[in-house]
Amino acid sequence: MVHPADNQALKIDVDAAQQVSALLRKPTGATSCFVFAHGAGAGMEHGFMASFADGLAARGIASLRFQFPYMERGSKRPDSPALAQKTVRAAVAEAARQCPACRLIAGGKSFGGRMTSQAEAASPLDGVAGLAFIGFPLHPAGKPGIERSEHLRRVALPMLFLQGTRDELATLDLLQPVVDGLAPRATLILIDDADHSFHVRARSGRNDGQVMESMLDAFAQWAGQLAERT
């Protein structure tokens, strides 16, 4: 059983002028840690982020959630890619300090995952063994395209894509060829009937809690396979 009190509140120095909040969840015996960046519209304490971190802990996987500077300030306008990527690097470094025995996986929900992959493509993130995307935002809603995926070709790490089949920010006719083109280092796990927030309709025969559990199981299985490879 995990509880909110199990979260350790931290501060991460992005640079000499900026500091952001973070939450570390480190279950006993964890051998992997997910450096978990939030999406554009909600911070690290959003219900989805908290539930995902709880589920990882229940599966023996640590997590470090963190704020981007704009969210720390209470702004709705996301940071520039350069600042967001700098924040990802600082969070990865903090995770390495807090969990020295853990294999690091970096990524996040939507915007957070894309900023992480951009950081890795620009210059490898120290100590990171793989990237995990919880709803990779391939394109804006209603504006299909694959330009946002071009940097992924420069990522040499194993990558996990957890994607809903109704995700309006990553239509399958575009996403599937992108992932196929990244083989064998990319793994795509499709969540049937889920949208970008991983909500499913009642007629799907499942509820959001069941969807979350299936996603967490897929993440844990991939993390285990990553451990075997590395």
Q: What pTM value is reported for the model? A: 0.95
**How far apart are the two ends of the chain, measured CA to CA in Å?**
29
Angstrom CA distances, 184 to 10, 82, 91, stand at 36, 29, 28
Strands 8-13 and 19-25: antiparallel
Q: How many Cβ atoms are within 10 Å of 49's Cβ, its own excluded? A: 23
Q: Could you list the pLDDT tens digit for every one of the 230 residues in the chain? A: 445 558 999 999 999 999 999 999 999 999 999 999 999 999 999 999 999 999 999 999 999 999 999 999 999 999 999 999 999 999 999 999 999 999 999 999 999 999 999 999 999 999 999 999 999 999 999 999 999 999 999 999 999 999 999 999 999 999 999 999 999 999 999 999 999 999 999 999 999 999 999 999 999 999 999 988 86
